[in-house]
Amino acid sequence: MPTSTDDPLPTTAARLDPRPAALCGLLGIGAALAVGDLVAGLLSPASSPVLAVGGQFIRLTPEWLKALAIATFGVYDKLALLGGMAVVLVIVAVVSGLASRRSAAPGAIVVVLLGVVAVTSATAAPAFSVADLVAPLAALVAGLAVWTGLHRLAMRRAAAIVAATAPEGSPSAASTDDPATDTGSGDGAAGRVVEQPTVHRAGPVGSAGAARRRFLLGVTGVAAGAGAAAVAGRWLAATGGAEASRASAGALPGGPGPRVDLTGADFAAQGTPTWLTPNSAFYRIDTALQVPQLTTRDYTVRIHGLVDRELRLSYDDLRARRLVEAPITMTCVSNEVGGSLISNAVFLGVPLADLLAEAGVRPVAEQIASTSADGFTTGTPVAAVSDGRAAMLAVAMNGEPLPVEHGFPVRMVVPGLYGFVSGCKWLTDMELTTFAEFTSYWEQRGWAAQAPVKTQSRVDVPRAGSSVLAGRVTVAGVAWAQHTGVARVEVRADGGAWQDAELARDVSIDTWRMWRTELDLAPGAHRLQVRATDRGGDTQVATPTLTIPDGATGWHTVEVTAI
Ligand SMILES: Nc1nc2c(c(=O)[nH]1)N[C@H]1C(S)=C(S)[C@@H](COP(=O)(O)O)O[C@H]1N2
Ligand SMILES: [Mo]
């Protein structure tokens, strides 16, 4: 430090108060994360240290905990994870600050350890590239710099306050304005004062004020800088080009909007969902903490492996091909009986059969191993996409380019298979392979390799736990037997006789089908149940089973009170 006022007092004996100590910890770690986010926003959004660690956490989470998280938080599971991480980080930051009241070392060690966790998480990401190390390393350097800098300012502040409040006559309380009494402190600064008595020099009270101000300045500066860096990083990540690319993806054939006759397809007026799910309400499930930001310009999908001719197709190549439009109900294997992880949309895309025929799939190929831009994988049976169903590489959903969070610019959709074995979003690679050769993301975690959607039905009204007026009560909901079709839905109260429900118009065997009926309910508590039968005559399985490994079974049962 060049001037004496910068370093007025020794800090060796000082001890930080808990509050400034905790503040240093919070700001050190906060600044690290903010710089990490900013650098990631500039280079590659998914390399943000928070997202990298969150992603690694998701990959390592045991199945039971993941199932519990989805059951508890549903589509907000990622928000819950980030919230949990924030709480843990705040605790770690405060504790490491409090552990550093005498020395900066404990906090510095914590910052380095967090940096190591971020770097190892980044390297463990399936789509890792060396550039993804820049953000966590920048975070580490920024964290260390801010931590040591603020800690030093806090120590000076503490030392200055000790000096200012020390009892009269103690060496450090001596006024440096009076060199004659300044015999005890013996530090370099005081020495210089002795040599230059004309220089204005604040006394301990004045220098405590200056040290306080400098710490305050440091704290506000770091807080403002970190806040700005975090906001800029988020903004850069969110405007990674995907939304802009989507906006200019080009007019869809036939103009906007799905061409499908919706008349009589639902009983929405009586409480079922609308037959078509608006994109904004379509359920969303994926492992991506940061939605991959792809653009149509840079997009290619490679089709290779057990084929005669490898294909590499750009977005324009795909758009120039024969496109088909089909309504398809998508379902998540994690959907509990009665759950809401099911939605229906009209998808537009290139028939998978066309692409596979052009590539020349070898007879030994059993499985399509699909990879997403973020490294997620699905494994789809070749047989299922070769039987004439509307399996496709979708480019549009409900008459709009695919929403970014639903896989823009290209995803796979296969009617009748759960999403985890068929619905690869942000699709960049398809390798024809065998079941023995390839194990998909969820199969590695104990889920099935093959998973056709199980026939299911759900009561939407009356809601479970609700009260209804005794007498004739409207009961309505949805049923699905994808790629077979719903032939019949039956409802009963209190384990009594099954009663046929009225079915809405059948638009496609690949979509859900709405139903409604009326039941006579006397005052009191009632258990309502529903079951569906498919066109092959198979009635949905009564035995309740877990969602893992290949989808829940059982009859949706709701308890209501008639009053
Ligand atoms: N890239 C990627 N694709 C993915 C997933 C994922 O985690 N990452 N999840 C799959 C699962 S489990 C389901 S149920 C569907 C959900 O598709 P949606 O979010 O468009 O409803 O996407 C599938 N495709
Ligand atoms: Mo899923």
Structure tokens at 322: 């024969």
Strand partners, 457: 479
Tokens 């986010």 correspond to what residue? 37
Centre of ligand 1 from the C-alpha of residue 291, in Å: 11
Give, using CA atoms, the residue closest to atom 21 of ligand 1.
Answer: 284
Neighbours of 113 (CB within 10 A): 12
Q: Report the C-alpha gap between 417 and 384 in whole angstroms.
A: 8
* CA distances from residue 434 to 126, 213, 248, 363, 550 in whole angstroms, order as listed: 21, 68, 38, 10, 20
Q: What is the pLDDT of residue 343?
A: 98
Same domain, yes or no, for 289 and 408? yes
Same domain, yes or no, for 303 and 356? yes
Judge whether 551 lies within some domain: no
Q: Report the C-alpha gap between 211 and 161 in whole angstroms.
A: 8
Q: What is the torsional sign of CA 432, 435, 436, 441? A: positive
Centre of ligand 2 from the C-alpha of residue 551, in Å: 10
The answer, yes or no, to whether any atom of ligand 1 lies below 6 A from the CB of 330, is: yes
Of 390, 424, 445, the residue at which a domain comes to its end is 445
Q: 3-state DSSP call for residue 290?
A: coil
**Ligand 1 atom showing the smallest separation from residue 374 Cα:** 1
The answer, yes or no, to whether any atom of ligand 1 lies below 6 A from the CB of 420, is: yes
Same domain, yes or no, for 209 and 305? no
Q: Report the C-alpha gap between 296 and 314 in whole angstroms.
A: 8
Structure tokens at 289: 């903490």
The answer, yes or no, to whether any atom of ligand 1 lies below 6 A from the CB of 78, is: no
Q: What is the pLDDT of residue 13?
A: 59
Give, using CA atoms, the residue closest to atom 20 of ligand 1.
Answer: 406
| CA proximity to 176, closest of 12, 1, 7, 13 | 7
HSE-up of 525 (CA within 13 Å, CB side)? 5
Best probe residue, ligand 1, of 425, 430, 443 (max atoms within 8 Å of C-beta): 425
Q: 3-state DSSP call for residue 414?
A: coil
Judge whether 362 lies within some domain: yes
8 A C-beta contact, residue 449 and residue 482: no
Same domain, yes or no, for 300 and 440? yes
Tokens 């005890």 correspond to what residue? 184
Same domain, yes or no, for 272 and 234? no
Same domain, yes or no, for 307 and 375? yes
Structure tokens at 433: 């392979």
Judge whether 254 lies within some domain: no
Centre of ligand 2 from the C-alpha of residue 423, in Å: 8
Of 427, 445, 463, the residue at which a domain comes to its end is 445
The answer, yes or no, to whether any atom of ligand 1 lies below 6 A from the CB of 372, is: yes
Judge whether 561 lies within some domain: no
Judge whether 474 lies within some domain: no
Residue type, 323: L
Judge whether 189 lies within some domain: no
Same domain, yes or no, for 131 and 272? no
- Residues whose CB falls within 8 Å of the CB of residue 8, separated by 6 or more in sequence, listed in order: 156, 160, 163, 176, 189, 202, 204, 207, 210, 211
Query: Which residue range forms the structural domain that includes residue 316?
Result: 268-445
Instruction: Give pTM, 2 decimals.
Output: 0.78
Same domain, yes or no, for 157 and 292? no
Same domain, yes or no, for 335 and 406? yes
Q: 3-state DSSP call for residue 139?
A: helix
Of 412, 430, 445, the residue at which a domain comes to its end is 445
Judge whether 380 lies within some domain: yes
- Identify the CATH number of the domain in which residue 338 sits: 3.90.420.10
Which stretches of 481-563 are assigned E, i.e. beta strand? 486-493, 499-500, 502-503, 513-521, 524-534, 557-562
The answer, yes or no, to whether any atom of ligand 1 lies below 6 A from the CB of 426, is: yes
Q: What is the DSSP letter of 452?
A: B
For the chain, the maximum distance between any two Cα atoms, rounded to a whole number of angstroms, is 106
8 A C-beta contact, residue 331 and residue 482: yes
Same domain, yes or no, for 25 and 149? yes
- Residues whose CB falls within 8 Å of the CB of residue 275, separated by 6 or more in sequence, listed in order: 262, 265, 266, 268, 344, 504, 507, 511, 512, 514
pLDDT under 70: residue ranges of the chain: 1-13, 75, 166-205, 240, 254-258
The answer, yes or no, to whether any atom of ligand 1 lies below 6 A from the CB of 427, is: no
Q: 3-state DSSP call for residue 562?
A: strand
Judge whether 457 lies within some domain: no
Peptide bond just before 167 cis, omega within 30 deg: no
Give, using CA atoms, the residue closest to atom 18 of ligand 1.
Answer: 284
Q: What are the backbone dihedrals phi and psi of residue 296, each rounded to the nearest 5 degrees, phi first?
A: -65, -35
Is residue 523 packed enough to be buried (19+ CB in 10 Å), middle (13-18) or exposed (0-12)? Answer: exposed
Which stretches of 165-220 are assigned E, i.e. beta strand? none
Q: What is the pLDDT of residue 255?
A: 63
Same domain, yes or no, for 233 and 290? no
* The total number of structural domains that make up the chain: 2
Same domain, yes or no, for 232 and 272? no
| Residues written for the chain | 563
Q: What is the pLDDT of residue 64?
A: 79
**Ligand 1 atom showing the smallest separation from residue 442 Cα:** 12
Give, using CA atoms, the residue closest to atom 13 of ligand 1.
Answer: 419
The answer, yes or no, to whether any atom of ligand 1 lies below 6 A from the CB of 453, is: no
